[in-house]
Structure 1
Amino acid sequence: MGKKEIHRSFGQVDYREAVKLARLESLKADALFAEADKRLFPASVQHGVASTDERLQKIARDYFRQLERSAAPVPFSEDERSDRLRQNEEDAANVSTSLNDAGLQKIALRVGREAGLDVSTSSRDSTRLVEAVQRALIEHHLRDADRAALRPEGTYDPLFKGADKSADQARPSLSFKEAVRQFKSAPERASVSPKTRAAYEFRYHVLTELIGGDRDVAEITRAELREVRDLLGKMPPNCTKRYPHLSLKRAILHSDKEGVAPMSAKSVQLYLDALNALFRWLTAEEMVARNPAVALRGKPAPEEASRRPFTTSELNQLFAHPHFAKRNTSGGWMYWLPRLALLTGARFAELLALEAKDVATVEGVPVLFIEPNAGRKLKTKGSRRFVPLHQTLLEMGVLNLVKDRKGTELLFPDAAGPKDMLTARNKEMGRRIRSVFPDKSLVFHSFRHTFKDAAQKARIPREFTAMLGGWDLPGGRAAMDGYGRDPLVKLLQEEINKIEYAGVDLRSGESEKSS
């Protein structure tokens, strides 16, 4: 043939197109050299070369599968995905540079040894091994770049066409229905609350019907999930109840044709998050090679009014209103919860589910223990805490709430009744606040914002504010980590008593004294 090297110019094309063209030219060059080999070497030698090539190609495909299996999940953050895309493109370019790269040769020899191939660094087989491993690395980096860019995953080298799928075919087929069952019964979900379990049972039932229970999870594509997302975006609340005689897909299309309002964008995202959680778990358990639902988003939800703190005049208006001015011997949750939230920074659920045992005295200081119980779970790691009761609350007689109650008896028994007490009472509280203030930015959580602002005005150190309100510090660290309980009590009591609301009458409009 008279050639040792072949040079090709691709003109002005972008990097990705250049890589594709380079791979095609490489394959053409391989064919040319193979033809030259046929002319130069006898058939007996050719048989040995072909056998070696087949083995090297198998080693390359096996190594490629190994790279794909070990690839990290695609990050959710756009910045992290951009970094990963850039890194993969750089890695593909670097690997493509030369077969003489020492790092590439070292990897190739290791891969060859692990595959049981006996090659020396100077042999012709060694060069072909390095090229085979190079092809696997380039293919892996280009596919991972596709994943990072959320593009459909391409095949850039025919050698690896279907290579990822052949690995999947080696494992038993797993239906979507069975995958959901295994996901729900995994040990890490054993402690899920009945309410949460019921919610995701329903979501996965809907997803199973839309995707198909018998669909092999390894074959589900990003495009399919986008179609599911679009269907969910048209699905109205109670869709199956509206059209009980239609399949879910037909019911969705029928409701869309009739102009029935679909469920909220926030609800749609809950289904997509459930899909992502399922495939993230399947990927971690090595049941599928990749997560086709990563970062799958529906239409953005309309912006909600930002929650804001109460002003002094708004607090006085609220506390003087008949809804919030009365307390009674059975608790008076509507009276006490806003006042407790204002002077502890606690969340609605943390307060409503308080039990008698959650109020105790430590080092002579009355404190409120906020811990998980049968009535509530805590939102974050830092939510588990104790809060010294503010002097104003003590003067208002908050300790009378525990006089005749013991152990797990509710501090506010008058809130009990509804099956889902927290949800029902939270909605009721929201309606009452809305009856006083039509402003949607004022909600019960506004008391928490007001507390945080008051702590800042009182110049309470940030870490102590986080301890009192149960806010996590940067890095997911709970503020109380590393502290003993008893030494902190008096210090936190001093800090919380610095909080004051000048001009706010917490007793305004009281018409009935507690006994």
Structure 2
Amino acid sequence: METMQNKPGLVRRNGTYYARLRVPKNLREQIGKAEIKLSLKTKDRAEANAKLSEALVSIHRLFAAALNADKAVTPEAVEVGRGVLEQIARDWFRPRWEACEDTVWQPIPPGRSVEELIDIIDEDIAHVMSPDESIYGQYLYQARKLLGKLGYPNASGASTETLARYMIRGEVECLNMARRHHVELDLHHTIRDPLFRPVVASSEVGSAAAPVAQKNAVTVAQAIERFRNDPQRAGLSKKAIVAYETGFNLLLEIVGGNFPLVEVGRDHARKIRDVLANLPANVTKRFKGMTLLQAAQHAEANGVEPIAERTASNSLQAFATFFRWAKQEQIIADDAFAKGLKPTQKKLSKQESRQPFADADLDRLFSAEMYRGSYSDIPEKEQARYWIPLLGLYHGARLNELCQLEVADIREADGIPFMRFTQDSDAGEEKRLKTRNAERDVPIHPVLLQLGFLDYVDDQKRAGHVRLFPHITMSANGYYSENFGKWFGRFCDKQGVTDARLDFHSFRHGFNDATRSAKADGDVVKGICGWAAGSSMRDRYGNGYSVSRKLEELVKVRFPVVEKLLPLQGVNDVHNKD
């Protein structure tokens, strides 16, 4: 049974995910077990994450039934509104905060130093921010009991988990106050987490009290909800949604959900920019229990690497887009304050940013055992790992373009096999291309043909597969490339290619360099790679270059250091007898 990191209560056995909690000692005799496991009936991590909260609540219902605190069978789950959950959390937090204030003013126990007390607080903060299965289960149990007491005995798992996370935030807020009291001699004990401030309290920006909502004014929370439900947003990718959600969550933390949207101004926008400058990557996974503001402060104080400049820029652009939408919807009169914000973190220089693979790197990668023989010698589930790096190397295609290819995308025109990168899908899936120019036909390089790529395509047809690489799984963000990219990163490390500037996209850089070295026609190369050919009126007409014309330039691209390693007929016969 494998325990999943960063997801208390989630375990995996033989590929299937389960929810698991230890039974409290006082209930083990009555229940007859030391732990409860419920199958989530899935081998997909994202689906398991979605089902976990309901399963954990179901287990706690068993515990509650054993204590006669609830009936074993309950009516249908009820979703509790976010505003209600926030108010419940504030009411729960108030006496806890007051009790903690009383505690910090007590004399330090005899025989214990201030340093030891701070170490204990730091240890408690670490445990609460990254709770293990037992601690997280306790908060879920407390949250459910509190909801039941307040008239929500059948609150949904999602509602219960949200309240539990609010309670964890409250614990962290109290512990941080105690730490500041002893370390910084901060005796004012200001509540810094906006969730637990009174609704009329001052915001994170400036010291003026939050303005009273104008009659019929749309609040921040209402505007965000309307934006999310706007039909024009339905086509957003999950990556784009993440960019919006980061800005939304920061805005809610800084001004609060009840703040009138019309009162948001440049100071708030600058605050969001400044937080993004220190916000660490994967913040919700790495810093559970922290608000985004707290995580940014923690990262800045401890030298944690912030998100990339491009990621911050995407969030700021999404922020500006949201307020442009609000202006179009006549919710606000002016959106100028949200425009022109630039990330303040350092933009990587050309030398620091992504680089092409050098010959020595390519030698290490393609010296791997799987490239010494035929693809058919490799287990079927791993054959994508053979083909996709080679396709990237010889065609300069983006990783997700390759991962989402379908069997029907491999075609032939005038005797020339080619790949069609398109959003059309025989599988009925949502295929994503980066730009309009990314929809294109690319001839298959002769090296791939000699390695048997068309035989592989026929294998997938005979097996009845729609997707060309059917064993690549989609990640939670809706892209096939993410999981494959993680494997490729591990593969690079294994082969000794450890430069942080190198990843799968380095193939695209290397392909571009190879076309320059071969003096390939630049405009044809743009058609192969899916870049816009130019800005002249002429470039807007016609279908671009034919497959045969593209092939004339593509065959100029060669990688001798790789071809010495591959089982190419007449090139590497001796090597493969070794």
Normalised TM-score (structure 1): 0.57
Give the Cα separation in 1 of the matches to 2:218 and 2:450: 64
Instruction: Indicate how the Cα distance of structure 1 residues 171 and 265 shifts in structure 2: closer, same or farther if over 3 A, else same.
Output: farther
Q: Higher relative contact order at CA 8 Å, sep ≥6: structure 1 or structure 2?
A: 1
d(CA) in 2 for partners of 1:405 and 1:317?
Answer: 29
Secondary structure in 2 matching 1:444:
coil
Residues 2-151 of structure 1 mapped to structure 2, 5 A cutoff = none
Partner of 1:279: 323
- Pick the aligned partner of 2:481 from 396, 400, 422: 422
Say whether 1:369 aligns with 2:414. no
- The equivalent residue for 1:447 is 507
User: How far apart, in 1, do the equivalents of 2:312 and 2:232 lie?
Assistant: 25
SS at match of 1:499: coil
C-alpha distance in 1, partners of 2:362/2:277? 40
Residue number in structure 2 paired with 1:497: 555
The equivalent position to 1:468 in structure 2, one of 528, 532, 542, is 528
CA offsets per residue over residues 52-75 of structure 1, 9 Å max, x none? xxxxxxxxxxxxxxxxxxxxxxxx
SS at match of 1:456: helix
Q: Distance in 2 between matches of 1:413 and 1:506?
A: 30
Please, which of 454, 468, 474 is the counterpart of residue 411 of structure 1? 468
Q: Residue type matched to 2:483 in 1?
A: A
Query: Residue 405 of structure 1: CA displacement?
Result: 2.5
In structure 1, the residue matched to 2:307 is 264
Q: Which amino acid aligns with 2:499?
A: D
Structure 1's 508 and 492: CA in aligned 2 closer, same or farther, altered over 3 A?
Answer: closer
What residue identity is the alignment partner of 2:496? Answer: V
Q: CA RMSD in A?
A: 3.8
Q: Which segments of 5 or more consecutive residues in structure 2 lack a partner in the other structure?
A: 1-212
Correspondent of 2:270 among 208, 216, 226 = 226
Residue pairs, 1:235-274, within 5 angstroms: 238=283, 244=289, 251=294, 255=298, 259=302, 261=304, 263-264=306-307, 266=309, 268-274=312-318
The 3 A distance-change label for structure 1 pair 288 and 451 is: same
Q: Distance in 1 between matches of 2:564 and 2:536?
A: 35
Match of residue 72 from structure 1: none
- Shift of the 187–254 alpha-carbon distance from structure 1 to 2, 3 Å rule, reads closer
Higher helix share: 1
Aligned counterparts of 2:391 and 2:473: Cα–Cα separation in 1:
18
> Per-residue deviation at 1:383?
0.7
Distance 1:469 1:351 in 2: 12
Q: Among residues 298, 315, 319, which one is paired with 2:362 in the alignment?
A: 315
Cα deviation, residue 389, structure 1: 1.0
Picking from 363, 376, 381, the partner of 2:436 is 381
Task: Compute the displacement of 1:234 (Å).
Answer: 5.3
Does the residue aligned with 2:338 lie in a helix, a strand or coil?
coil
- Deviation of 1:204 after TM superposition, in Å, equals 1.7
Identity of aligned residues (%): 27
Which letter does structure 1 place at the counterpart of 2:445? Answer: H
The answer as to whether partners of 2:357 and 2:510 remain within 8 angstroms in 1 is yes
Give the gaps of 5 or more residues in structure 1: 1-168
Residues 209/477 of structure 1: CA separation in 2 closer, same or farther (3 Å cut): farther
Give the SS at the match of 1:424.
helix
Range moving further from structure 2, 349-358 or 289-298 = 289-298
Match of 1:399 in 2: 454
Q: CA deviation at 1:488?
A: 1.1
- Residue 46 of structure 1 aligns with which residue? none
In structure 2, what is the equivalent of residue 295 of structure 1? 340
Tell me if 1:354 matches 2:397: no
Which amino acid letter does the alignment assign opposite residue 541 of structure 2?
A: G
Do the aligned residues in 2 keep the contact of 1:279 with 1:293 (CA within 8 Å)? yes
Q: Does the 8 A contact of 1:339 with 1:506 survive in 2? A: no
Question: 1:288 offset after TM fit, Å?
Answer: 2.4
Quick one: structure 1 residues 292 and 311, their matched pair in 2 at CA, closer, same or farther if it must change by over 3 Å? Answer: same
- 8 Å Cα contact 1:233/1:263 also seen in 2: yes
- Higher alpha-carbon deviation: 176-185 or 230-239: 230-239
Scaled by the length of structure 2, the TM-score of the pair is 0.51
In structure 2, distance between residues paired with 1:478 and 1:193: 32
Q: Displacement, 1:428?
A: 1.6
Decide whether the 8 Å contact of 1:357 with 1:408 is kept in 2.
no
| AA aligned opposite 2:470 | P
Matched, 1:193 2:253: no
Q: CA deviation at 1:259?
A: 4.6
SS in 2 for 1:292: helix
Matches of 1:476 and 1:426 in 2, distance apart? 36
Change (3 A) 1:475 1:285: farther
Say if 2:250 and 2:272, in contact at 8 Å, map to a contact too: no
The whole-number CA distance in structure 1 between the counterparts of 2:437 and 2:557 is 21
1:141-178 per-residue CA deviation (whole Å, 9 max, x = no partner) reads xxxxxxxxxxxxxxxxxxxxxxxxxxxx9995222222
Partners in 2 of 1:233 and 1:177 — Cα distance?
A: 24
Q: Name the CA distance, whole Å, in 1 between partners of 2:550 and 2:411.
A: 15
Structure 1 segment 169-184 matched on structure 2, within 5 A: 173-184=217-228
Structure 1 residue 507, shift from structure 2 partner: 4.4
Shift of 1:248: 6.4
User: Which residue of the partner structure matches residue 209 of structure 1?
Assistant: 253
Relative distance call for 1:497 and 1:214 in structure 2 (3 A) is same
Shift of 1:423: 0.8
Number of residue pairs matched by the alignment: 341
Q: Deviations over 1:262-321 (max 9, x none)?
A: 743545544433322211222344432233121223431463723333333432332112
Call closer, same or farther: CA 1:288–1:502 in 2, change over 3 Å: same
Flag the 1:462–1:325 CA change in 2: closer, same or farther, 3 A: same
* 2:551 counterpart of 1:508: no
Give the letter for the 1:464 counterpart.
V
Secondary structure of residue in 2 paired with 1:230 = helix
Task: Identify the range of structure 1 (430-439 vs 353-362) with the bigger mean alpha-carbon deviation.
Answer: 430-439
Instruction: Give the one of 334, 337, 345 matched to 2:388.
Output: 337
Shift in alpha-carbon separation, 1:317–1:240, aligned structure 2, 3 A: closer
- Paired with 2:388 and 2:421, the residues of 1 have a C-alpha distance of 14
Q: Does 1:306 align with 2:363?
A: no
| CA gap 1:388/1:446 in 2 versus in 1, 3 angstroms | same
Deviations 1:238-267, CA, capped at 9 Å, x for gaps:
4698574x8766x45984797584743545
